[in-house]
A and B are shown apart, each in its own frame.
Chain A
Amino acid sequence: MREDRGKVLVIPCSGIGKVHGLLSRESAYLVTDELAPDETDVVCLALLVREDEETLAKVRVNPCITIDGCGKACAQKNVEIAGGQVASAVQVAKILTKHRDSQPGTGSELTEEGWAISREIAEAVAEEASRVSAGQEVA
């Protein structure tokens, strides 16, 4: 399984009911597609929960950063249940408390303000991924 080792896996919950889930999803894409494409990769949470062997193997050998919309922490819990290591767990709801009067959008689309919050989350995740990745290389 050594060939699976390498990238930090970013796993959002993508919860469908509220803007929190969309923020988690779009933040993950900002990290993996724009901010840290060489160090990170996104993984389907549904595939992980479905016990897909390839996905389980990836999650068990690579550090994971989960981005959950709410305190139910579905992404974090499911990575832990699958035997993965959660290097860092981000919660969108907590971040939104710093933006009390903001209108980030809906579960279908983000406003400009929502995209700005998404970028703030993504930058924090990318920074964490870089730190985790550097630690992994040293180890």
Chain B
Amino acid sequence: MAAEMNKTMKVGIIACSGEEIPEGTISRSAVRRVLESLRPSETVTLCLPLFLAGNEGERNFARTHPIITIDGCDKECARWGTEKHGGPVSRALVVTDILGTSAAGCSRSSRERGPADERAVAAVAERIAAEVDALMKEGLEAHDDGSS
């Protein structure tokens, strides 16, 4: 049963993608990396503007799956919107909390992406992946407890 659940359980990740600051670009790029390279089988992303615009498919997913929000700054728009329309999130990450001041040399546009951007995206993506692993483990343990 645990293996069956492992194949079907997905964690949703929602980035703020804030356009005004480099941390918004880092949130977006890190989520894409988790989806494409680090945890492609365990994760899906939800489009925040679509979610906030009232798409029921996206909102239903958020109500029925564990969600990680990843925000660029402490205004936490992704978390705010997700909790308003989809309920409590399982993890709420903030790029500035993860990176401290090391995002200062990063760029908003991917045209200017350099080593500092790469390091920042890698660090945030690894942190998201670790939280995905923890949620999958929690989910499996809860499932095993429920079936024993």
Q: Which residues of A are in contact with B by a Cβ distance under 8 Å?
A: 11-17, 21-22, 25-26, 28-30, 33, 42-47, 49-50, 52, 72, 74-75, 77-78, 107-110, 115
CB < 8 Å A-B pair total: 96
**Are A16 and B47 closer than 8 Å at their CB atoms?**
yes
**Total B residues in contact with A, Cβ cutoff 8 Å:** 31
B78 to chain A, nearest CB (A): 7
Instruction: Name A18's closest neighbour in chain B (CB-CB).
Output: B47
Cβ-defined partner of B20 (8 Å) among A13, A44, A78, A109: A44
User: Which among B19, B48, B81 has the highest number of chain A CB atoms within 10 Å?
Assistant: B19
Per CB-CB distance, the 3 closest pairs between chain A and chain B, nearest first, are A74-B49, A46-B77, A29-B109
Enumerate chain A residues within 8 angstroms of B110, measured Cβ to Cβ: 22, 26, 109-110
Enumerate chain A residues within 8 angstroms of B124, measured Cβ to Cβ: none
**Are A44 and B18 closer than 8 Å at their CB atoms?**
yes
**Are B77 and A108 closer than 8 Å at their CB atoms?**
no
Q: Which residues of B are in contact with A by a Cβ distance under 8 Å?
A: 15-21, 24, 28-29, 31-33, 36, 45, 47-50, 52-53, 55, 75, 77-78, 80-81, 108-111
**Are B78 and A46 closer than 8 Å at their CB atoms?**
yes
Enumerate chain A residues within 8 angstroms of B20, measured Cβ to Cβ: 42-44, 47
User: Which among B16, B33, B50 has the highest number of chain A CB atoms within 10 Å?
Assistant: B50
